[in-house]
Amino acid sequence: MLEYSFMQNAFLISFFIAALCPVIGMFLVLRRYSMMGDTLSHASLAGISIGMLANQNPVLSSFIVVSMFSIIIEWLRKHFRTYAELILVIVLSLSIGIAITLLSSGLVHANIDSLMFGSILTVTKSDFYWVLFFSVISLFLVYRYYAELMFIVFDEEGAVIAGANVKLINYLFAVLVAATISISIRIVGILVISSLIALPIAASLQLEKSFKQTLWYGILFSYIDIFSGIVLSYWLDAAPGGIIAINSVILLLIVLFYKHKIRSNKKRIIQE
C-alpha cells in the first residue's frame, strides 16, 4: 500500500490535517460555531472553481476565497449577534451559487466526485507542500496565541478587559479556519470536513478533562478517525471522506458507551 506515491502523499497530508482540524475545531465547537466548517467548505468549492478558472493551485485559491468569506462572517458576527446562523446560511448560499454557476456553465471542468467526497488518488506533491506550509504556520499561531484563544472562547468580554487584542485574534482565527478547511478538502472532501472538525472534539469533551487534555484527546481521536479511514478506503476502494465520517461517529459512540459504563460502575461500587 505504501509503495504507491499517492498513498505516501495521502498519509503525509493526513498527518498534518489530522492535527489541525481538531485544534481549530476545539475553538469553533466551544464557541457554538461548529457549523462554520460546513459553510466554509462550500466556500472552498467556490474557491477551487475560481482557482481552476484562473489556472491556480486549488489549495491556494481556495485559501484566498475562504479567508475572505471567513473574515466577512467574523465581521457580521459582531453586527448580527442574534442571527448568527443566518449569517452562515447567507455565506453558504453565495458560495454554493458561485461554485455551481462556474462548474455547470462548462467554464471549468472538475471532478466533482473527488471534490465532494475526497480522494486519495488525486493528491499531488505540490498539494502536499501547500498543506505543509499552511499547517505549520497555523499550528504555530495557535501555539503562540493559545492563552488568548482559550480566554476568548471562555470569556470574550473578560479578555477585552484583560487587554487582549480580541478583535485581531478573532480575525486571525478566521483565517486559520480558512487555512484548515482549504488544506483538508483534498483528502476528506467538502461534505465531510465539518464532521472532522467537530466530532473528535465532541468525543473528547465527553471525557470531562482540562482544556489542554481535551485538545490532546481530540487530536488523538482525529488521528484514529483519519488514518483508519484512509487505510479502509484503500482496501474498500471507496472515497475516504465517507469512511472517515463513519469512523468518527463510531468512535464518538464508543466513547459515550465507555463513559456510560464507567458511570454505572461507579454507581454500583458506591451502592455496594
Q: Which residues of the shown chain bind other proteins in the complex (CB under 8 A)?
A: 30, 147-148, 150-151, 154-155, 157-164, 205, 208-214
Which phi and psi angles does 145 have, rounded to 5°?
A: -105, 25
In angstroms, the CA 242 to CA 89 distance is: 24
Give the shortest CB-103-to-other proteins separation in angstroms: 41
Residue with Cβ nearer other proteins (61 or 170): 170
Residue with Cβ nearer other proteins (105 or 210): 210
Q: CB–CB of 2/120 below 8 Å? A: no
Residue with Cβ nearer other proteins (64 or 160): 160
Residue with Cβ nearer other proteins (133 or 171): 171
In angstroms, the CA 64 to CA 213 distance is: 32
Which are the contacts of 247, defined by CB distance < 8 A and separation ≥ 6?
224, 225, 228, 229, 232
Residue with Cβ nearer other proteins (245 or 251): 251
Q: CB–CB of 247/229 below 8 Å? A: yes
In angstroms, the CA 175 to CA 180 distance is: 9
Give the shortest CB-164-to-other proteins separation in angstroms: 5
Residue with Cβ nearer other proteins (110 or 150): 150
3-state secondary structure of 133: helix
What is the DSSP code string of 167-194?
HHHHHHHHHHHHHHHHHHHHHH-TTTHH
In angstroms, the CA 194 to CA 186 distance is: 14
Give the shortest CB-44-to-other proteins separation in angstroms: 29
Give the shortest CB-187-to-other proteins separation in angstroms: 28
Give the shortest CB-156-to-other proteins separation in angstroms: 10
Give the shortest CB-3-to-other proteins separation in angstroms: 42
